[in-house]
Amino acid sequence: MDLTLKIWRQASANDKGRFVSYKVNNVSADSSFLEMLDVLNEDLVIKGEDPVAFDHDCREGICGACSLYINGRPHGPDRGITTCQMHMRHFKDGETITIEPWRAKPFPVIKDLMVDRSAFDKIIQAGGFISVRTGGVPDANAIPIPKRDADLAMDAAACIGCGACVAACKNASAMLFVAAKVSQFALLPQGRVEAKERVQKMVAKMDELGFGNCTNTYACEAECPKEISVANIARMNREFLVAKVAAPKDK
């Protein structure tokens, strides 16, 4: 298949940036989206032009490094997958594909399609961990946890921190990411110890970094490659409300 790619090019964080169109010919329908971009970049290198910068790492859909806002959708036109797992058979011959970086104030563009997602790390640093001394590895089943809670915690922990929720949200809100991280701890006894502080600190950091507010559009759930449920956002709202109303204040 022959395609026209309309790609956002931006030399550096301070560059203004613009769209540049490229032609790629003889793309295999079986190649992945990133492989298609690799082919484009090889051509650009041969021509002596600057290749398109984009994030990628494992290419197995589990690391969360790849991004790309493709034709108005994070990770392209399919549900429940990352860009590296999306294949070119989802596109038509002769199609023009628009590729943009994640757009959010806390995710500044570094170069071309790469954005700085360290805002997510800062949210994790604010409370997305357990600081209690857990000692050695406990025996299996030493702490009884209902299957349902274990499953829900695992579903929340499936978040790979790719930022598609922020990219998809019309408000550039990070609520699904933060909710997944809050939930994976809130559902388990080890996480309950610091639950009230955690939710307040992580939400405060999220607000401080300039992410938007949640308006329950549920675009995040629709675009999440790990299909994390907005029920986690409701859980975080609950956790937050309880923490604000019931948590003892620091002296």
Partner 1 sequence: MTKVMYASITKKIVMSLMGLFLITFLVVHLSLNLLILFDKSLLKFNQAAHFMATNPVIQLFQWVLFLGFVIHIILGVVLQIQNWMARPIRYERKGSSELSYFSKFMIHTGAIVLIFLVIHFANFFIKAKTGHIDEITYDQGTYENMGQLVVTLFKDGWYVAFYVVALLLLGFHLEHGFQSAFQSLGLNHTKYTPVIKAFGTVFTIVLTLGFIAIPLVIYFS
Q: Could you list the residues that contact partner 1 (CB under 8 A)?
A: 6, 8, 19, 69, 71-73, 98, 100, 103-106, 168, 170-173, 175, 200, 203-204, 206-207, 210-219, 221-223, 230-231, 233-241, 244
CB of 197 to partner 1, least distance (A): 14
84 vs 168, beta carbon nearer partner 1: 168
Tell me whether residue 17 or residue 43 sits nearer to partner 1 (CB atom). Answer: 17
Shortest distance, position 239 Cβ to partner 1, whole Å = 8
**Widest distance between CA atoms in the chain:** 68
- Nearest approach, Cβ of 183 to partner 1 (angstroms)? 12
Q: How far is CA 126 from CA 6, 35, 177, 199, 206, in A?
A: 38, 36, 14, 9, 9
Residue 106 CB neighbours (<10 A): 23
Q: How many CB atoms lie within 10 A of CB 229?
A: 19
Amino acid symbol at 81: I
**CB of 9 or CB of 59, closer to partner 1:** 9
State the nearest-atom distance from the C-beta of 178 to partner 1, in Å: 10
Q: Of the two residues 66 and 69, which places its CB atom closer to partner 1 in the complex?
A: 69
Q: Are 225 and 160 within 8 A, CB to CB?
A: yes
CB of 136 to partner 1, least distance (A): 36
**CB-wise, 18 or 47, nearer to partner 1?**
18
Nearest to 247 by CA among 216, 201, 205: 201
The Cα–Cα gap between 199 and 185 comes to 10
